[in-house]
Amino acid sequence: MNRAQLESHLISIRRHLHQYPELSNEEFETTKSIRKWLQEDEIDIRRIGLSTGVVAEIKGGKPGPIVAIRADIDALPIVEQTGLPYASKINGKMHACGHDFHTEAAIGAAYLLKESQSELNGTVRIIFQPAEESGGGAQKVINDGQLEGVEAIIGLHNKPDLPVGTIGLKEGPLMAAVDRFHIVLYGKGSHAGIPQSGKDPIVAAGHLITALQTIISRNISPLQSAVLSITKIIGGSTWNVIPEDVTLEGTIRTFDNKIREEVKSKVYSIVESIATAFSQKVEIGWYPGPPPLVNEKTVTEIARNAAKKHTLNVIDPAPSMAGEDFSYYLYNVPGTFAFFGTNGNEEWHHPAFTLDESAIIRAAYFLNESSRELLNRHFTS
């Protein structure tokens, strides 16, 4: 296949995936399709212990290390509103984060690597990871032993606000750690006109919201980044009754594990102090998500050179406060995660999210070139 033929093939199979999106851990048809497309090119598929996802391998003709490419394959519970002729045919599900793009870019890289398999100085393992959105997919892949022997890893995410032909590569933190919390204040209900007979959880919640906002503004250096957002409050049922309890939910985003821990402990101490001050009992649920995504220096440099070789415009991207479970791989092996320009008209997770398909072939060549370069450099940490 020449470049134009490969491009039109990748676009057509990406449109197929786009029409049949599947949610985290339910990627059964997607898994079948990926296997079929790889097998058509006689690419080896590894045995895995997961019910969805695919791990392929291209063993080079020459000895050398193993490096990995990772793509995620799942979609979101969103009703698509793009009006595209190949829009989702599954109501309420949509590839609104462009993981179909990542899948096809990795398949394209697999085809390109396969073409020159005999010249490869080692092995390229390609991980089509399930369940990025719900979290847990990367950990499952790692627990299944699919990272064993891997010396370096690369991955990418489409980036709607970057033009096609631009790639963002950055050493150090690129995406945030994601923590979720759930707080319940249990007071004592009463007549709204006789507050002294109750313990008002709404007033306590008001103080709590204000105090929690001071964690970032008063405890974290203005030169560091962190966000605390309270996104949900439930409490009360009518105008003349002080309720029994109030529930608050929210999220914290940080780029540094030390700050992540500091913010968490400050949340606990503020919640407990305010609860005591307002005679509330309190319950705190803490749900840690992926750690911060921190790119390794040398792999990032190798990827930067590979990008330039394919005439991509390399920029130093602004970090994103979104989370990404690629970070778990980076806790095990050095690697880099790139932002790939796709000139979309909406941000990730929007019902009208689109991307420019001409970026797919560029991403395939970039992944191919970077993995080859990592093999040649025999990258070791």
The residues binding Ni ion (CB under 5 A) are 97
Give me the least distance between CB of 85 and Ni ion, in Å please: 23
Give me the least distance between CB of 225 and Ni ion, in Å please: 20
Q: Report how far residue 188's alpha carbon sits from residue 241's, in angstroms, rounded to the nearest whole number.
A: 11
Give me the least distance between CB of 72 and Ni ion, in Å please: 6
C-alpha distance from residue 138 to each of 4, 142, 154, 177, 215 (Å): 33, 6, 13, 15, 31
Amino acid (one-letter) located at 9 = H
Q: Report how far residue 319's alpha carbon sits from residue 75's, in angstroms, rounded to the nearest whole number.
A: 23
Q: CA angle at residue 251 from 247 to 253, to 5 degrees?
A: 165
Q: Do the strands 44-45 and 190-191 form a parallel or antiparallel pair, or are they unpaired?
A: unpaired
- Decide whether 6 or 97 has the Cβ nearer to Ni ion: 97
Give me the least distance between CB of 354 and Ni ion, in Å please: 14
The residue of the chain with the least Cβ separation from Ni ion equals 97
- Decide whether 101 or 379 has the Cβ nearer to Ni ion: 101
Cβ-based neighbours of 247, under 8 Å, separated by 6 or more? 182, 183, 184, 185, 232, 233, 234, 235
- Decide whether 10 or 97 has the Cβ nearer to Ni ion: 97
Give me the least distance between CB of 215 and Ni ion, in Å please: 28
3-class state of residue 329 by DSSP: helix
DSSP secondary structure, 5-63, as one string: HHHHHHHHHHHHHHHS---TT--HHHHHHHHHHHHTTT-EE---SSSS-EEEEEE-SEE
- Decide whether 133 or 357 has the Cβ nearer to Ni ion: 133
- Decide whether 13 or 75 has the Cβ nearer to Ni ion: 75
Give me the least distance between CB of 159 and Ni ion, in Å please: 10
- Decide whether 26 or 151 has the Cβ nearer to Ni ion: 26
Helix H or strand E segment including 294: strand 293-295
